[in-house]
Amino acid sequence: MTLAAGLRAKGSGLAVALASLALATAFAQTPMPGSGSVRLQPDWTSLEPEIMQQFQTVLRFDTRNPPGNEHLVADYLKGVFDKAGIPAQIFALDANRSNLVARLKGNGKKKPLLIMGHSDVVTVDEAKWKFPPFSATRDGGWVYARGTVDDKDNLAGGLMTMLLLKRFNVPLDRDVIFLSEAGEEGSSNFGMQFMVNQHYPEIEAEYCLAEGGGAIRIGGVAKYTTVETLEKIPRGIELVAHGISGHGSIPLKSNAIVHLAGAVAKVGQWRPEIRFNETTGTYFRGLAQIAAPENAKYYRDVLSTDPKLRAAADEWLFENEPLHSSMLRTSVSPNIFAGGYRSNVIPSEAKATLDVRALPDEDPIRFLEQVKKIVDDPAVDVHFTAQNVRPASAFDARLDSEPYKVLEAAAKRIYNTVTLPTMSTGATDMAPLRARGVQCFGIGAAIDMEDGPKGFGMHSDQERLLETELYRFVRYNYEVVVDLARAK
C-alpha cells in the first residue's frame, strides 16, 4: 500500500495513513459523544455493500453441523486475509473441520484481545424455509439464512473489524486475534477444545469477545443490550434404583421402577435454593428498571429478602419465564428415564439421568449430597455421570473491567440503551477460555424479541437478521475493538 494521505485525529495524536483517495471518502471525523475527543471513524454508509457481501458469502457456505464442513469458511477467510495482508493460519484436527486464526500485531504494551465467531450452524429442515437456508436472500430489509443470528453475524463482524483495522492502519497497543472456530454446535473437539488443548499460544488473550449477547428490540426499538459475562456449568447426575427381579404376576415392594419413579418425582418437584451472583443480581435489578410494571414487580420481588414475596415471584417466573427461573439457581431437569424390558418381568434395575446446570460457584459434592437427601431412598444410588463436562469457569468476566465499560459505552452510543450482564444457562465455547483465566464477553447483533416466537430465532425453523442491524453490529464490534486495542 502506498501512503497517499495522512490524517491526524485531534486529541489522540494518532496518525492514520490512507492508501488512496477513494479510501479517504470512507473516513469522517466524528466527535464521539461523551469522550470530548475527536476520533477517526469509518464512513459506515459507504461500507454497507462490502459488509453485506461478506455476510452473504459466509452465509452461503453450507456448514450445517453435522457434518460441518467448516473448511469452506476457513479457506475463504484465508483468501480474504491473504489479500488484505493480514497473517492468517489454518488449524485442523480433521481437514474438513478447520479453524482459522488471523492476527494483527500491536506494540505489545497490553496482552492480546481475541474476537471469535463459530463457522458451523445447526441443521435445517429445508421444507420449513421460505427462502433456501443457504441462499442468504434479502427480502423486505431482512437477510434469510441459517447462521444469520447464530453465529455468522459475529463471524462477519470480526472479519470486518480486522479488515478495517488493517485498512485504516490503526496503531494497536495489543494484538487483535480473530478466530473462526469449527464445531461449536456439539463437536467442539474439532474447534475450541482442539485450539485450547493443542494451539493455545495462537489464541491466548487477556480478553475475548464471542457470541451470546446483543441488543434486544421490542416493537422495533432497542430496549437494552445484553453482554454474556458468565455461564452455568453442565453436569449429569444418575439415579439408579436397585430391587429384586421377579415375575410380574407377583408385585414386589422393592420394584426398581417404583423406587425410581418416586425419586424422579421428588427431584422434579424440588426447587434448589435461589442464589444471586454479581451478574444475575445486576441483571434482575436492571431488568426491573426497564420492564413493563406488571413484569418488573416479579424481578424486584425475586431479589427481595421477604421470603413470601420471593417465593411468589419464583413461582411466577418458573411458570412464565423458565429461563429466568433457571438463572436463579442450580437447576435440575430429569431428562432420561429407563427401566424394564418385558411386561411380565420385574427388572432389578432402573435408571434416570438428570441434567444439572450448576451455578458457577456451586460446590458439586455439597450439591450431590442435597440431591441424595431429597431422594431419601437407600434403594436409589445417586452419583455424577462420567459425561465429559466443559471445564468450570474459574474466571468470570468482571463488570468493573475495561471491556465491560467499553461495551456499556458503545451500547449507549450506538443503541442508546443500557447494558445488562447475563449468565448463560447453557455452556458455550467461552468455557475453556474462562477456565484459563480469559475474561470473555458474549455479544451479537440486535434481535427482535418478537422474532423468536414467530420462528425466526437461533436454532428455529427459519433464521433471519435485519440488514440495518447487521450494519449497526459491525460498527459496535469495530468501535469496541478499537477502544480496547488502539494505541493510547
SS3 29: strand
- Phi, psi dihedral angles at 134 (to 5 degrees): -120, 30
Helix (H) or strand (E) holding 410: helix 402-414
Q: How far is the CB of 429 from Zn ion (least distance, A)?
A: 8
Give the full edge-to-edge strand order of the sheet including 137-139.
137-139, 142-144, 464-466
112 vs 147, which CB is nearer to Zn ion?
147
Q: Is 11 or 186 the residue whose CB approaches Zn ion more closely?
A: 186
Phi-psi label, residue 376: left if phi above 0, alpha if psi -120 to 50, beta otherwise: left
Beta bridge partners of residue 181, listed in sequence order:
118
Residue 150 is a binding residue for Zn ion (CB under 5 A): yes
Q: Which is nearer to Zn ion, 64 or 103 (CB)?
A: 64
Q: Is 143 in contact with 65 (CB distance < 8 Å)? A: no
Toward Zn ion, which CB reaches closer, 150 or 479?
150
d(C-alpha 454, C-alpha 400), whole Å: 37
# of chain residues touching Zn ion (CB under 5 A):
3
Of residues 284 and 476, the one with the C-beta less far from Zn ion: 476
Which C-beta is closer to Zn ion: that of 134 or that of 298? 134
Stretch of residues binding Zn ion (CB under 5 A), selected from 2-10, 37-45, 144-152, 382-390: 144-152
**Exposed (0-12), middle (13-18) or buried (19+): which is 127, by Cβ within 10 Å?**
exposed
Residue 131 Cβ vs Zn ion, minimum distance, rounded to whole Å? 21
- Minimal distance in Å, beta carbon 119 to Zn ion? 10
Give me the helices (H) in 170-230, please: 192-198, 200-203
CA–CA separation, 59 vs 54, rounded Å?
9
Binding range to Zn ion, per CB under 5 A, among 1-9, 209-217, 282-290, 365-373: 209-217
Longest dimension (CA), the chain: 93
Which one, 150 or 301, has the nearer CB to Zn ion?
Answer: 150
Using the minimum distance from each CB to Zn ion, give the nearer residue, 146 or 486.
146
- Cβ proximity to Zn ion, 150 vs 396, nearer residue: 150
CB of 191 to Zn ion, least distance (A): 11
Does position 151 interact with Zn ion (CB under 5 A)? The reply is: yes
Q: Could you tell me the smallest distance in angstroms from the CB atom of residue 151 to Zn ion?
A: 4
Q: CB of residue 301 vs Zn ion: minimum separation in angstroms?
A: 33
Supply the minimum distance, in Å, between the C-beta of residue 398 and Zn ion: 23
Best CA proximity match to 153, nearest among 484, 482, 457: 457
The grid cell for 397 is 468476566
Segment interacting with Zn ion (CB under 5 A) among 129-137, 146-154, 200-208, 446-454? 146-154
Considering only the stretches 85-93, 123-131, 208-216, 223-231, report the one whose residues sit in contact with Zn ion under the rule CB under 5 A: 208-216
| Residue pointed to by grid coordinates 502506498 | 2
**Are 254 and 380 contacting, i.e. CB atoms less than 8 angstroms apart?**
no
Q: What DSSP string runs through 24-87?
A: HTTEEEEEPTTT-SEEEEE-HHHHHHHHHHHHHHHHHS--BTTT--THHHHHHHHHHHHHHT--
Minimum distance of Zn ion from residue 58's CB (angstroms): 14
Binding segment for Zn ion (CB under 5 A), chosen from 54-62, 204-212, 388-396, 472-480, is: 204-212
Stretch 278-337 residues interacting with Zn ion (CB under 5 A): none
**In 3D, which of 275, 273, 269, 303 has the Cα closest to residue 289?**
303
Of 145-153, 240-248, 304-312, 352-360, the window that binds Zn ion (rule: CB under 5 A) is 145-153
CA separation for the pair 72, 119 (Å, rounded): 9
Query: Sign of dihedral through CA atoms 246, 252, 254, 258?
Result: positive
State the minimum distance, in angstroms, from the CB of residue 10 to Zn ion. Answer: 40
Give the CA radius of gyration of the chain: 25
Taking the complex as a whole, the smallest distance from the CB of residue 258 to Zn ion amounts, in Å, to 42
- CB nearer Zn ion, residue 112 or residue 191: 191
Please confirm whether the linkage preceding 360 is cis (ω < 30° from 0).
Answer: no
| Candidate segments 32-40, 143-151, 298-306, 480-488, binder of Zn ion by CB under 5 A | 143-151
Residues that bind Zn ion (CB under 5 A): 150-151, 211
